[in-house]
Amino acid sequence: MLSAAPPGRVALVRGGQAEVKLEVRLRPGYHVNSHAPAEDYLIPLRLSWEPRPFQILEVNYPKPALEKYQFADKPLSVFSGAFTILTRLKAPENAPRGPGVLLGKLRYQACTDRLCLPPKTLEVRLSYEIR
């Protein structure tokens, strides 16, 4: 239903910043609610990361589409097809040097225009090196 290519390895110095791209792809016919859904009963898309060793500066989602479905009175804020989520992170001055893997979670809930699948969480692994 939804797949995400592992983000490319990042290398940064203590005190430095890096940008991480998570490329997401949805099966044709399906959409996921955006990070800011139009209705409060809808489950938003959310990318979160472990709190250490990096400071997560921001997670930027692309601009969603407003799509009208037969089951909703108003257009819904959704993503479909392929899209990219950007994360900016910073290595603290006292971050331990060396390689590691940062774990993230992409929470989503997908529907077609007729049915919905349960919310799911996809684990994301970011390989990094702090120099």
Partner 1 sequence: MFPAFRRALGLHAAALSLMLWACSTPSSSAPDSVKPESQRRRAPDFALRDADGKLVRLSDYRGKVVLLNFWATWCGPCKLEIPWFIEFERQHKDKGFAVLGVSMDEDGWEVVKPFIRRLGVNYRILMGDDEVARLYGGVDALPTSFLIDRQGRVASVHVGLVSRRSYERDLAELLGDSPDGARRAVDSGDGAVVAGAR
Which residues contact partner 1 by CB under 8 A? 39, 41-43, 69-72, 76, 109, 111-119
Q: Pairing relation of β-strands 98-108 and 10-12?
A: unpaired
CB half-sphere exposure, 89, CA atoms < 13 A: 26
For residue 16, what are the CA distances in angstroms to 34, 55, 80, 90, 110?
Answer: 30, 11, 33, 6, 36
Residue type, 112: T
Look up residue 64 and give its DSSP letter.
P
Q: Give least dist CB 117 to partner 1, A.
A: 6
Min dist. Cβ of residue 74 to partner 1 (A):
11
CB-wise, 39 or 50, nearer to partner 1? 39
Specify the residue, 59 or 110, whose C-beta has the smaller distance to partner 1.
110
Cβ closer to partner 1: 41 or 123?
41
Closest separation between CB of residue 7 and partner 1, Å? 28
CB of 46 to partner 1, least distance (A): 14
Radius of gyration of the chain (CA): 17
* Length of the chain counted residue by residue: 131
Report whether 32 contacts 77 (CB < 8 A): no
Between 19 and 113, CB nearer to partner 1: 113
